[in-house]
Homo-oligomer: A and B are copies of this chain.
Amino acid sequence: MDFWISIGSTYSYLTVMRIEQAATDAGVALRWRPFNVRDIMVSQNNIPFRDKPVKTAYMWRDMERRAMTHGLPISVPAPYPLTYLPLANQVALVGLREGWGVDYITQTYKRWFVDGEPAGAEPNLSASLSALGVDAPAAIAAAHSDEVVDLLAAQTQIAMDIGVFGSPSFVIGPEVFWGDDRLEDALAWAKTRA
């Protein structure tokens, strides 16, 4: 099952913190696929929270309750939106290539949603990498390379082409499931199909 994840999405925190265990329990193999959800949402005129204070306030309370249900720590509202969403995801692409991508995404989300440090920016970025024993300056330099910038754009185009319009999304063949609250449905679908 492809897990399309864009660091920058709020609800994806809930997914990042539990999807590995949930997929293991369901016996479903996962592939993490970072992309730039903001580019897709802007291009599709899909702006869920900006200038929508009532819906935004609801989102924080809903996330808080869902975190409670899942036994996850959370401090809301977290800083939002992220200024450096592309960089946060470019680092993730470097990490997935080098084997520390999943741990980085998890670390950076924890610092964002528990400690209140925006992902993609300092001190979150270097601290998340250092905690994994990764050379932070080297990883960040690689993330800024044209190659990785282009890779994020290419991955985002693939996401858009297959109908992904939000994060988190779970894709099994032609089926797209969107939202942390569809994780269980998606795993069940993947399991049935396997």
Which A residues, 36 to 89, have Cβ-Cβ distances below 8 Å to chain B? 44-46, 51-52, 54-55, 57-58, 61-62, 65-66, 69
Q: Check A181 for interface membership: any CB of B closer than 8 A.
A: yes
A57 CB contacts on chain B under 8 angstroms: 163
Q: Check A4 for interface membership: any CB of B closer than 8 A.
A: no
A65 CB contacts on chain B under 8 angstroms: 175, 185, 189
A51 CB contacts on chain B under 8 angstroms: 45
With beta carbons under 8 angstroms apart, the residue of B44, B52, B58 that contacts A176 is B58
Are B44 and A163 touching (Cβ within 8 A)? no
> Which A residues have a C-beta under 8 Å from some C-beta of B?
44-46, 51-52, 54-55, 57-58, 61-62, 65-66, 69, 163, 165-166, 175-179, 181-182, 185, 189
Shortest beta-carbon contacts, A-B, top 5: A181-B181, A54-B165, A55-B165, A46-B52, A44-B54
C-alpha spacing A177/B62, complex, angstroms: 7
Closest to A160 in B: B54
Are A185 and B69 touching (Cβ within 8 A)? yes
C-alpha spacing A162/B41, complex, angstroms: 29
Are A165 and B58 touching (Cβ within 8 A)? yes
Are B44 and A55 touching (Cβ within 8 A)? yes
The distance from the CB of A166 to the nearest CB of chain B, in whole angstroms, is 8
The distance from the CB of A45 to the nearest CB of chain B, in whole angstroms, is 6
Are A55 and B46 touching (Cβ within 8 A)? yes
C-alpha spacing A177/B165, complex, angstroms: 23
A182 CB contacts on chain B under 8 angstroms: 62, 181
